[in-house]
């Protein structure tokens, strides 16, 4: 299903494609410490360095804003934002395991009912959820669920 969506959209939803960069917010990129560590190391900083206001790397809104600008300009590689990992925690009926049958929520013809999601989406996740809905709602039952077989 992901491959079908990615072919339609023209980018990899597992790597924050160019189309998703504009939807990123400071909250998105700062939520993963790996992004802040990698970016600060690229600037020659250590993890225990503080910004001009005395904030640690992970709490520096100044550095987060600077990093977001560089991500959107393509100077710093887009942060980790894997839609599959969001889906694992938000839209599967049961805990996901290899080699199993499960159900994934894609919504109905009327759209996505956010109350059915286990984890609320941010902007780029909601964008992809809506694309999933457009492409797959016709396969879902009347409550928006599709039974799927998973293996990797």
pLDDT tens over the chain, length 152 residues: 777 777 777 666 665 555 666 677 777 766 667 777 788 888 899 888 999 999 988 788 888 888 888 877 878 775 556 677 788 889 999 999 999 999 999 999 999 999 999 999 888 889 889 999 999 999 999 999 999 998 87
Report whether 25 contacts 125 (CB < 8 A).
no
How many residues does the structure list for the chain? 152
Q: Is 87 found in the same domain as 39?
A: no
Tokens, residue 120: 């609320």
pTM for the predicted model, two decimal places: 0.66
Q: How far apart are CA 79 and CA 98, in angstroms?
A: 27
Tokens, residue 75: 């100077």
Q: Treating both helix axes as pointing N-terminal to C-terminal, what angle do 2-9 and 123-136 enclose, rounded to 10 degrees?
A: 100
Q: Is 69 found in the same domain as 87?
A: no
Q: Is 128 found in the same domain as 91?
A: yes
Give a yes or no: residue 41 inside a domain: yes
Give a yes or no: residue 5 inside a domain: no
Q: Is 136 found in the same domain as 87?
A: yes
Report whether 151 contacts 24 (CB < 8 A).
no
Three-state DSSP class for residue 113 = coil
Q: Which of 90, 97, 85 is nearest to 148 (CA)?
A: 97
Could you say which DSSP state residue 141 is in? -
Report whether 33 contacts 58 (CB < 8 A).
yes
Total domains present in the chain: 2
Domain of residue 69 covers 25-73
Q: Is 68 found in the same domain as 31?
A: yes
Q: Is 102 found in the same domain as 60?
A: no
Phi, psi of 90, deg, nearest 5: -125, -35
Q: Is 69 found in the same domain as 125?
A: no
């Amino acid at each position: 299903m992901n491959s079908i969506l990615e072919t339609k959209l023209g980018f990899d939803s597992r790597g924050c494609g160019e189309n998703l960069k504009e939807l990123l917010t400071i909250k998105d990129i700062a939520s993963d410490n790996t992004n802040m560590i990698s970016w600060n190391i690229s600037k020659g900083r250590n993890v225990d360095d503080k910004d001009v206001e005395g904030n640690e790397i992970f709490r520096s809104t100044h550095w987060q804003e600077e990093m977001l600008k560089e991500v959107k300009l393509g100077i710093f590689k887009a942060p980790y934002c894997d839609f599959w990992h969001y889906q694992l925690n938000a839209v599967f009926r049961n805990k996901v395991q290899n080699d199993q049958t499960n159900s994934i929520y894609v919504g109905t013809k009327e759209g996505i009912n956010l109350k059915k999601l286990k984890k609320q989406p941010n902007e780029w996740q909601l964008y992809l959820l809506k694309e999933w809905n457009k492409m797959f709602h016709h396969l879902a039952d009347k409550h928006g669920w599709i039974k799927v077989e998973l293996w990797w």
